[in-house]
Structure formats: C-alpha cells, structure tokens
C-alpha cells in the first residue's frame, strides 16, 4: 500500500470512528446497536480501537459495551481493544462485567491477558480505595495464565501508594513483605516504597527500607528515584545531617539523586544561610551529577552569595579599609554581584571623606546602571562629597601649591583619553578668569599647547578647577544617566 493510500485509509478510519462516536454520545445504551446497524457504516479492528479509547466510551461505559458487542459481530477484536474494554469497565467501577471480559479473553485462548491487564485492574480497585480486592487480583493472576513478577508487583504497589489516604504506604509494605520471598523485587520496587514513605513523612521506615534495598539489589545509578525519595524524606524530617551522610555514601558509590532532591536541599541551605553546604551541594549537583539547575535554584544561590558579598563589603567599610573596599567592589563587579543600597551610600561617604571622588562616582554610576534603590542616601552622600572636594581645594588655595608642568600635561592626556577634553578647557578658562590680568602679563608665562597660557603661580588655580570639574562632570553625567534610566 502506498503512502497516499495509507493516508486515505487513515482518514476514512477517522471519519468512521467519528460517526460511531456521534451515535454513542447521542443515543441511549439500549438503542446503540440498532442505531449503529442502521448508519450504513461497517467497523474495522482499527476503528474499534479508536472508538474504545475515546473519552465518550470512558464516560459512557454501557454504550462502550454495546459498541464492543456490535463491532465483534463483524471483526475480530485485537488484544488492545479487549484490554481497553477491561479498563473502561474497571474505571467505571463495573467490576463484575470487568471480570466477565477477562474470562472471555481467557476462553478465547488467554493470549491477550498480560501484566498490563492486571495493572489496569489494580489501578481501578485502588482508585476506589479497595486495596484488598487489588491484592486478591494479584493472588489469582496465575489462574489467568499470567505469572506474577517484579513488574506485576510494582504495578500493584504503585497503585496502592497512589492515593492520599493514610496507611497506604503501610499496606503496600505489608504486601511486599508477604510476597518478597516468591517474587524477587527490583530497584523500582524499593523506589515505589521509598516514595510512599516520603509521602507519609516516615523517615525511620524509609531508612529501614533503603537498607534492605542495598542488601537485595545493591547500588546502581538507575535507582535515582529511590535515592531522591530517601534523601527528600530525611530533609522533610529535619534530618539534614543524616541526609548529607547518605549523600556522601551515594557519591562514593557513583550513585547520586536527581534534581528533585538537589532543589529541596538548595532551598533549605539558602534559607538557613548555610554558605559552606550550599556551595558543596551545588558543586556536587553540577560537577558530579551533571545536572542543570533550574532558574529558581540559580536565583536562590545568587541571593545567598550576594548577601555574602555585601556582608564582606560592610565589614570593610566599618573598618575604613578604603583601598580594600575599592578592590573588593571591582571583584564584585567582575562576578556580577551588586552592592546593596545601604552599602552604596556608606561606601560613597567613605570614598568622599578619603578624597577619592572617582571611586565614589563609580559607585554612583553602578547605582544608575543597575537601578539600585533606594538611591536617596547615596545621592546625598555624593553631594556631601562635593563639599569635601571644595574644602580640600580651599586648603590648596591657602597653600598656593604649584604643580609641575608634567602633572598638568598628564591632566590633559587623562581628559583626552576619557573623551573629556571639554573639562580640561573649562579648567583653563576658569583659571584664566581667576588669575589677575596683571599677573598674567608678568614673566614666566608658559603655553600649555591649548592656546591658553598659565603662569607658574596660577597652577594651583588650575589644579583646583581640574579636581572640581572632574568631580562635577562625573556627577552631572551620572545624574543625567539616572534621569534617563528612571524616566525612559
């Protein structure tokens, strides 16, 4: 059959299934067979499967039975269709018809009765809270030609543990204890039991079950759900220390839990501000387990270590370690860690009092760029810092300090390099205005190469103007950037 023919056949099957479903959803179950026969469309085995797995049949189980009987007169039902009917009846709580369907399968040879058939029966009984009947179904499996094995046991235990009612974990454990001599459990068996103890918060039973697991099935990286469940149960039971001990043992065996445990562990250590264990667990998760953390985990760690950075910075500020604080701020910037608003204000104040306006302006620019708020205290400290610059300039004025030409040349180069030549010319202009014209005409004039001249006695004026304008130029630039940032 060509691809085109297959497509046409698939479309026809779909149309047939839709037509049958329309009838089943519209008429009463007692009228379904007559209506189906009069529609002029015949069923196929594939169409029967499509109809039986539909929501219409699960919501109208009696109509599903009528359709199954009607279609069975024309086609031989597949094993999948037969198991769908068992599942439909079980989910509807129609257990007698369900067993009738199973017996019918047995009479037809029994080849279609599998572990999956009984997994459906276990699930249906347990969903209704009837765990005893589910256990009885397990006990009669061999009568229907199905040998109970680990897969069947796991299906039963999983169904028993699926509900929220108290005591389900104990019931599952009792069943396990009864059959473990005849049905060999595997890693999944213990994983199911450990997850049940986790759900009930029973750390003691979880540790006991895990011990038996190691003795019976050993260690394997494929048992990750079991490791997750044990460690998560210990965390939930406020036994963080025990969880770490088990984690180290697992690590030594090359068997680690999954993201489920690591997410809970990271959340716990971050809330406890446990920096050492946070880093150790993170490295184990990323390096040893090869897991990719999710966004909340990244954010939690960033928050934890951002607070760590700020604690260190706060200590440097309190100890007036100016150079160390400036270097540490550079390290924070390199590691994409931001100072807190409180630390920003404090460090600007310290830099200003220690006559380090460029460092203070760098902090202000960081505030503007990253919108660190509230910024009011930092702004006030920066303005106070300007007053400090003016005070030192007054001292320079009183001392009539003279600067060597090389210093003035360096100032010019610095302005050029920073793209601030206008600052340099402002200084020249202001210093020329402040110097008396008569002094300007005296001997000792020197051309600085900018088209203006400075006398030897006027260099202190230039120095004052330079410091003042560099500080104010940086401040004005930052305020302009902040205005654009907050209102843009």
Contact 264, 237 (CB under 8 A): no
Tokens at 18, concatenated? 């839709």
3-state SS assignment for residue 335: coil
- Position 406 scores a pLDDT of 67
Q: What is the phi/psi pair of residue 155, to 5°?
A: -65, -45
d(CA 243, CA 260): 14
Q: What is the phi/psi pair of residue 26, to 5°?
A: -100, -40
- Position 180 scores a pLDDT of 95
Q: What is the CA radius of gyration of the chain?
A: 40
d(CA 176, CA 194): 12
- Crossing angle of helices 187-200 and 224-236, in 10° steps, is 20
**How many CA within 13 A on the CB side of residue 247?**
26
d(CA 330, CA 333): 5
Element (H, E) at 161: helix 150-161
* Burial (0-12, 13-18, 19+ Cβ within 10 Å), 352: buried
- Position 110 scores a pLDDT of 65
Which residue's entry shows tokens 């499996």? 141
d(CA 120, CA 216): 28
3-state SS assignment for residue 449: coil
Contact 351, 326 (CB under 8 A): yes
- Position 437 scores a pLDDT of 39
- Position 175 scores a pLDDT of 97
What DSSP designation does 223 have?
G
Given a cut of 70, the residues of the chain with pLDDT beneath it are 1-12, 110, 386-488
**Strand duo 446-447 + 453-454: pairing:** antiparallel
Contact 50, 67 (CB under 8 A): no
d(CA 10, CA 47): 10
- Crossing angle of helices 224-236 and 240-252, in 10° steps, is 160
d(CA 34, CA 52): 18
Residue of 55, 42, 125, 43 whose CA lies nearest to 84: 55
Tokens at 481, concatenated? 């950037």
Largest CA distance in the chain: 127
Residues 6+ apart with CB under 8 A from 59: none
Residues 6+ apart with CB under 8 A from 373: 341
- Position 283 scores a pLDDT of 86
d(CA 41, CA 375): 77
- Position 309 scores a pLDDT of 84
- 314-367 pLDDT, tens digit per residue, is 888 988 989 999 998 998 888 888 999 999 999 999 998 887 888 998 999 999
Residues 6+ apart with CB under 8 A from 198: 206, 229, 230, 232, 233, 236
- Position 28 scores a pLDDT of 93
Spell out a b/e string for 294-316, using b for 16 or more CB atoms within 10 Å of the CB, else e: eeebeebbeebbbeebbeebbeb
Q: What is the phi/psi pair of residue 211, to 5°?
A: -60, -40
SS3 content of the chain, % helix, strand, coil (to 5): 75, 0, 25
259 forms beta bridges with none
């Amino acid at each position: 059959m060509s691809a085109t023919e297959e497509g046409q056949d698939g479309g026809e099957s779909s149309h047939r299934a839709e037509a049958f479903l329309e009838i089943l959803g519209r008429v009463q179950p007692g009228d379904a067979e007559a209506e189906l026969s009069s529609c002029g469309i015949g069923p196929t085995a594939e169409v029967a499967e499509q109809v039986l797995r539909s929501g219409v049949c699960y919501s109208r189980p009696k109509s599903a039975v009528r359709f199954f009987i009607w279609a069975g007169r024309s086609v031989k039902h597949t094993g999948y269709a037969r198991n769908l009917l068992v599942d439909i009846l079980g989910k509807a709580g129609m257990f007698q018809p369900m067993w009738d369907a199973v017996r019918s399968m047995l009479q037809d040879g029994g080849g279609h009765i599998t572990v999956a058939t009984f997994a459906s029966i276990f699930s249906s009984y347990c969903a209704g809270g009837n765990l005893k009947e589910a256990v009885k179904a397990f006990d009669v499996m061999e009568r229907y030609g199905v040998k109970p094995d680990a897969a069947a046991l796991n299906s039963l235990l999983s169904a028993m543990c699926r509900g929220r009612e108290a005591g389900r974990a104990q019931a599952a454990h009792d069943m396990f204890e009864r059959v473990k001599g005849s049905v060999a459990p595997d890693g999944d068996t213990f994983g199911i039991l450990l997850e049940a103890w986790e759900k009930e918060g029973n750390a003691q039973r979880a540790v006991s079950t895990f011990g038996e697991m190691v003795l019976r099935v050993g260690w394997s990286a494929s048992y990750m759900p079991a490791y997750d469940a044990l460690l998560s149960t210990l965390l939930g039971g406020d036994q963080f220390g025990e969880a770490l001990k088990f984690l180290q043992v697992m690590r030594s065996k090359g068997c680690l839990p999954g993201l489920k445990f690591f997410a809970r562990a990271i959340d716990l250590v971050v809330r406890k501000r446990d920096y050492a264990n946070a880093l150790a667990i993170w490295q184990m998760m990323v390096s040893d387990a090869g897991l990719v953390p999710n966004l909340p985990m990244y954010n939690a760690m960033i928050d934890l270590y951002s607070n760590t950075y700020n604690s260190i910075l706060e200590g440097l500020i309190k100890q007036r370690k100016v150079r160390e604080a400036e270097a540490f701020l550079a390290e924070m910037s390199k590691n994409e860690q931001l100072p807190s608003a409180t630390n920003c204000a404090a460090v600007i104040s310290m830099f200003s009092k220690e006559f380090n306006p460029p460092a203070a302006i760098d902090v202000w620019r960081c505030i503007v760029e990253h919108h660190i708020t509230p910024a009011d205290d930092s702004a006030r400290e920066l303005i106070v810092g300007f007053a400090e610059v003016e005070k030192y300039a007054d001292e320079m004025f009183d001392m009539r300090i003279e600067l060597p030409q090389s210093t003035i040349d360096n100032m010019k180069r610095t302005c050029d390099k920073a793209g601030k030549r206008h600052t340099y010319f402002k200084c020249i202009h202001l210093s020329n205005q402040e110097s008396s014209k008569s002094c300007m005409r005296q001997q000792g004039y020197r051309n600085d190469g900018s088209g203006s001249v400075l006398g030897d006695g006027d260099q202190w004026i230039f120095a004052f103007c330079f410091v003042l304008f560099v500080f104010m130029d940086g401040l004005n630039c930052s305020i302009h950037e902040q205005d654009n940032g907050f209102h843009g």
